[in-house]
């Protein structure tokens, strides 16, 4: 049964496909989907737009673009792009049509070696379907529906990985492409090892070389001597010639490009063998901003007087001019979304300009919903660079230059990155110890001022062209765009990823690992009682300004509901009470009593109305009314039965003889 369709030029999913993506309990998922379909059919919601199946009107096809945001996210996570999944499913239909009866007959009648079982009917059917897939992909059928050949094989590989066909258990797109090429050369033998049913092995030299590469490519990194020893132990049993360690080394050096990735890892392989691209710089300022975080390699004294180096920074670089436009420092490590937003705010405030493109890495702060929303509002384009590829980010080169040619000349420089091979970029530990003993290390604020000085020095240092980065950034260009005032105000409002519930104590969110509590107020410090009555325990989407957390905005289904203010904190000690706080407290206490009284009055009115309708008041006997009626009937039957006939007693005619215990003076006879 297909999971995807295209109706009225809209890509749709079956209810089964959505249920699989939601991956919840069967009853809960079915209820959620059918509730959504019903609400759309009744005109109560714009979500869950759907069409009846042309062949069976009882089956519904749900338009992918109409799904609620949460469900759409689950669908994307499971299937990726729905349009791509639909076209990939069509490839499967085409593949099954291209599987011929001759394919099935071939696999059922294929000869096998002695002691091996022939293919079962199910295996033969799967192999026939695999033949259809390889024919379809080799012909390029449906290639025009995808974004190039790589995307074509990627989507096909996803479908085949889920199918798990015998002979075609696909691991990735590259494996599938090699399998198609092998099919074009070898036909049916591409699906089953060529030695199947054939006693002839490969040449000894080829098998020996494969074994050598297999051993040396181990991530445990055996030496040439280790590989030679294991190989020579296995050689007599395999009929291979024995080899010296030097000969093994010569063979493996020739195969270095093949074994290096598995032995040393992807990053090392890229540094050793990957071809780099020659790129030209952007043609004008603000065409490309590069963003990244870095550790500040400066030692300072903390509040306890102990030396530490816990500063972390996030900077924004204009790639055209090499000018640092903005930055933000924090204590600790990592890149929270608040740090990213603060650095972007600093850059836009100082420049007043809008970047055309933003470039960043895949850190959690950059990928957070808050940062992504900000990037979308500010830039025309934004996307991350490939992971573990420092050459793709110009700002990483800048950070290295800041440390190596600027920061290292400060006396409290602690040394470059531990991976740096140059001793010239390492700190002198004796100097750091003497600064600490003499009390000459700066405090945290002093270290921050040093960072600001370093950035200003960099921005005002002349380059090879005789101009400073600040001067180059001032170059005018027709494509540069200034930020308007409205965007400057609203761009940095962020939407919280998770909804927040308005509880009896208000609404609490966490920003920068600090919790803040809000409530909707009718006047400062006084909660809006009407909002509480209508919206208590409702969940809202929250938008806030990270630099001004005094107020937040609450939204539901995309519509603004209210603005909430920070909840007033009352002093515990009388001495701490500020002017006007007494009146706020009294008003809140009065409203709390009114809230209880209002609830009591409303319930009394409901009870009175129900009583007038003739309903009985709830009680234990009312709850178990049927059982009590049955019990009462059974007791009545027993009473009637007892009064209808006399009670008869069964006489006991059996007389038992009593045995007395003999005592002194008795003759021991039995007395009856």
Q: What is the pLDDT of residues 93-130, one digit of tens each?
A: 888 888 888 888 888 877 665 445 678 888 888 888 88
> 183 and 54 share a domain?
yes
Residue 415 pLDDT more than 80? no
> pLDDT for 269-304, tens place per residue?
888 888 777 788 899 999 999 999 888 888 999 888
Residue 531 pLDDT more than 50? yes
Whole-prediction pTM: 0.48
pLDDT, residue 281, reads 87
**Is 664 inside a domain boundary?**
no
Average confidence score pLDDT of the chain: 82
Q: Which residues pair with 359 in a beta bridge?
A: 290, 383
**Is 613 inside a domain boundary?**
no
End of a domain among 449, 482, 515? 482
pLDDT, residue 171, reads 81
CB atoms within 10 A of CB 60: 20
pLDDT, residue 343, reads 92
Give the contacts of 243 (CB within 8 A, at least 6 positions apart).
208, 228, 231, 232, 235, 251
> 208 and 264 share a domain?
yes
What are the backbone angles phi and psi of residue 138, rounded to the nearest 5°?
-65, -30
- Banded model confidence at residue 56, pLDDT cuts 50, 70, 90: confident
Residue 604 pLDDT more than 60? yes
pLDDT, residue 575, reads 80
Nearest by Cα to 544 from 488, 490, 501, 486 = 490
Residue 671 pLDDT more than 80? no
The separation between CA 249 and the C-alpha centre of its own chain, rounded to angstroms, equals 45
> 324 and 428 share a domain?
yes
> 345 and 462 share a domain?
yes
pLDDT, residue 8, reads 73
The percentage of residues in the chain with a pLDDT greater than 90, rounded to a whole number, is 19
pLDDT, residue 195, reads 40
> 215 and 306 share a domain?
no
pLDDT, residue 661, reads 54
- Contact indicator for 9, 54 with CB cutoff of 8 Å: no
**Is 668 inside a domain boundary?**
no
- Banded model confidence at residue 233, pLDDT cuts 50, 70, 90: very high
CATH number of domain containing 232? 1.10.10
Mean local confidence (pLDDT), 436-461:
90
Residue 503 or residue 112, greater confidence:
503
> 152 and 101 share a domain?
yes
Mean local confidence (pLDDT), 425-437:
79
> 114 and 182 share a domain?
yes
pLDDT, residue 201, reads 34
When divided into structural domains, the chain yields a total of: 4
Mean local confidence (pLDDT), 70-84:
83
> pLDDT for 1-31, tens place per residue?
678 888 777 888 888 888 888 875 566 777 7
CB atoms within 10 A of CB 76: 15
- Banded model confidence at residue 194, pLDDT cuts 50, 70, 90: very low
Q: Residue 253: how many CA atoms within 13 Å on its side-chain side?
A: 6
551: domain range? 493-569
Pairwise CA distance, residues 291 & 367, whole Å: 13
Q: Which of 323-327, 404-408, 410-414, 421-425 has maximum average pLDDT? A: 323-327
**Is 616 inside a domain boundary?**
no
Residue 201 or residue 146, greater confidence:
146
> 341 and 384 share a domain?
yes
**Is 176 inside a domain boundary?**
yes
Lowest mean pLDDT among 165-179, 335-349, 653-667: 653-667
Residue 241 or residue 467, greater confidence:
467
pLDDT, residue 197, reads 39
Residue 187 pLDDT more than 90? no
431: helix, strand or coil: helix
Pairwise CA distance, residues 315 & 325, whole Å: 8
- Contact indicator for 551, 503 with CB cutoff of 8 Å: no
> 558 and 427 share a domain?
no
CATH number of domain containing 384? 3.30.420.10
Pairwise CA distance, residues 127 & 167, whole Å: 6
pLDDT, residue 204, reads 37
pLDDT, residue 570, reads 85
Residue 395 or residue 114, greater confidence:
395
- Banded model confidence at residue 417, pLDDT cuts 50, 70, 90: low
- Banded model confidence at residue 470, pLDDT cuts 50, 70, 90: very high
Give the contacts of 209 (CB within 8 A, at least 6 positions apart).
251, 255
**Is 310 inside a domain boundary?**
yes
The secondary structure of 414-432 as a DSSP string is --S-TT---GGGS--HHHH
- Banded model confidence at residue 577, pLDDT cuts 50, 70, 90: confident
**Is 323 inside a domain boundary?**
yes
Residue 460 pLDDT more than 90? yes
Residue 83 pLDDT more than 90? no
Print burial letters for 401-417: b (CB count within 10 Å at least 16), e (below 16): ebbeebbbebebbbbbe
End of a domain among 239, 273, 307? 273
- Contact indicator for 287, 251 with CB cutoff of 8 Å: no
452 φ/ψ sector (left φ>0, alpha ψ -120 to 50, else beta): alpha
What are the backbone angles phi and psi of residue 624, rounded to the nearest 5°?
-110, 45
- Banded model confidence at residue 346, pLDDT cuts 50, 70, 90: very high
Distances (CA, A) of 293 to 88, 163, 363, 458: 40, 43, 9, 17
> pLDDT for 161-184, tens place per residue?
888 888 888 888 888 888 888 888
> 212 and 180 share a domain?
no
> 426 and 563 share a domain?
no
Q: Which residues pair with 52 in a beta bridge?
A: 60
Lowest mean pLDDT among 253-257, 355-359, 492-496: 492-496
Structure tokens at 490: 């609203």
End of a domain among 434, 450, 482? 482
> 411 and 506 share a domain?
no
CB atoms within 10 A of CB 556: 14
pLDDT, residue 628, reads 82
Residue 185 or residue 334, greater confidence:
185
100: helix, strand or coil: coil
Print burial letters for 354-383: b (CB count within 10 Å at least 16), e (below 16): bbbbbbbbebebbebebbbbbbeebbeebe
Residue 632 or residue 584, greater confidence:
584
**Is 577 inside a domain boundary?**
no
Mean local confidence (pLDDT), 417-423:
57
Residue 582 pLDDT more than 80? yes
Lowest mean pLDDT among 38-42, 396-400, 580-584, 665-669: 665-669
């Amino acid at each position: 049964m297909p999971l995807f369709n295209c109706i009225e030029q809209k890509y749709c999913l079956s209810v089964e496909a959505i249920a699989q993506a939601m991956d919840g309990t069967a009853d809960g998922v079915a209820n959620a989907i059918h509730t959504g379909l019903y609400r759309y059919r009744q005109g109560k919601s714009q979500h869950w737009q759907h069409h009846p199946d042309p062949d069976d009107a009882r089956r519904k096809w749900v338009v992918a673009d109409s799904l609620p945001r949460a469900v759409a996210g689950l669908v994307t996570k499971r299937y990726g792009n729905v349009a791509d999944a639909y076209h990939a499913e069509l490839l499967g239909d085409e593949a099954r049509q291209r599987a011929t009866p001759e394919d099935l007959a071939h696999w059922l009648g294929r000869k096998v070696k002695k002691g091996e079982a022939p293919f079962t009917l199910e295996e033969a059917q799967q192999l026939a379907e695999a033949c259809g897939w390889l024919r379809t992909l080799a012909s390029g059928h449906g290639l025009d529906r995808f974004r190039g050949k790589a995307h074509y094989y990627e989507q096909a590989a996803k479908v085949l990985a889920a199918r798990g066909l015998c002979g075609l258990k696909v691991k990735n797109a590259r494996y599938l492409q090699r399998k198609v090429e092998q099919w074009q050369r070898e036909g049916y033998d591409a699906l089953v090892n060529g030695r199947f049913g054939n006693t002839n092995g490969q040449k000894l030299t080829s098998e020996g070389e494969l074994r050598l590469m297999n051993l040396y490519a181990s991530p445990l990194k055996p030496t040439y001597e280790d590989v030679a020893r294991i190989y020579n132990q296995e050689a007599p049993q395999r009929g291979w010639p024995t080899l010296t360690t030097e000969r093994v080394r010569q063979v493996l050096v020739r195969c270095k490009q093949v074994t290096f990735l598995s032995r040393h890892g992807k990053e090392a392989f890229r540094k050793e063998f990957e071809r780099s691209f020659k790129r030209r710089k952007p043609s004008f300022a603000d065409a490309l901003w590069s963003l990244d975080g870095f550790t500040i390699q400066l030692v300072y004294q903390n509040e306890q007087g102990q030396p530490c180096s816990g500063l972390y920074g996030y900077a924004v670089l204009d790639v055209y001019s090499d000018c640092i436009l903005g930055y933000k420092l924090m204590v600790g490590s990592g890149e929270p979304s608040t740090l990213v937003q603060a650095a972007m705010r600093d850059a836009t405030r100082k420049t007043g300009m809008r970047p055309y493109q933003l470039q960043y890495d895949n850190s959690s702060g950059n990928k957070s919903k808050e940062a992504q929303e900000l990037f979308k509002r500010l830039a025309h384009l934004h996307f991350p660079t490939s992971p573990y590829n420092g050459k793709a980010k110009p700002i990483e080169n800048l950070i290295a230059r800041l440390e190596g040619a600027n920061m290292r000349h400060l006396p409290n420089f602690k040394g470059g990155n531990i991976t740096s091979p140059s001793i010239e970029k390492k700190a002198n530990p004796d100097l750091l110890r003497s600064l600490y003993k003499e009390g000459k290390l700066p405090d945290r604020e002093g270290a921050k001022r040093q960072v600001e000085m370093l950035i200003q020095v960099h921005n005002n240092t002349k380059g090879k062209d005789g101009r400073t980065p600040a001067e180059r950034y001032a170059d005018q260009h027709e494509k540069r765009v200034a930020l308007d005032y409205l965007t400057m105000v609203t761009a940095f409002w962020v939407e919280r990823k998770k909804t927040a519930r308005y509880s009896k104590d208000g609404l609490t969110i966490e920003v920068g690992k600090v919790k803040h509590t809000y409530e909707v107020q009718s006047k400062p410090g006084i909660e809006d009682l009407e909002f509480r009555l209508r919206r208590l325990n409702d969940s809202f989407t929250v938008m806030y300004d990270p630099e001004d957390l005094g107020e937040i905005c609450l939204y539901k289904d995309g519509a603004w509901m209210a603005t909430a203010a920070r909840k007033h904190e009352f002093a515990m000690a009388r001495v701490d009470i500020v002017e006007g706080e007494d009146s706020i407290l009294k008003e809140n206490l009065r409203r709390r009593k009114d809230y209880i009284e209002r609830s009591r009055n409303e319930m009394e009115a409901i009870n009175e109305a129900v009583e007038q309708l003739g309903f009985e008041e709830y009680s234990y006997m009312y709850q178990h009314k049927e059982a009590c009626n049955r019990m009462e009937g059974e007791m009545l039957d027993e009473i009637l039965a007892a009064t209808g006939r006399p009670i008869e007693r069964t006489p006991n005619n059996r007389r038992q003889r009593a045995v007395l215990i003999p005592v002194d003076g008795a003759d021991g006879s039995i007395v009856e």
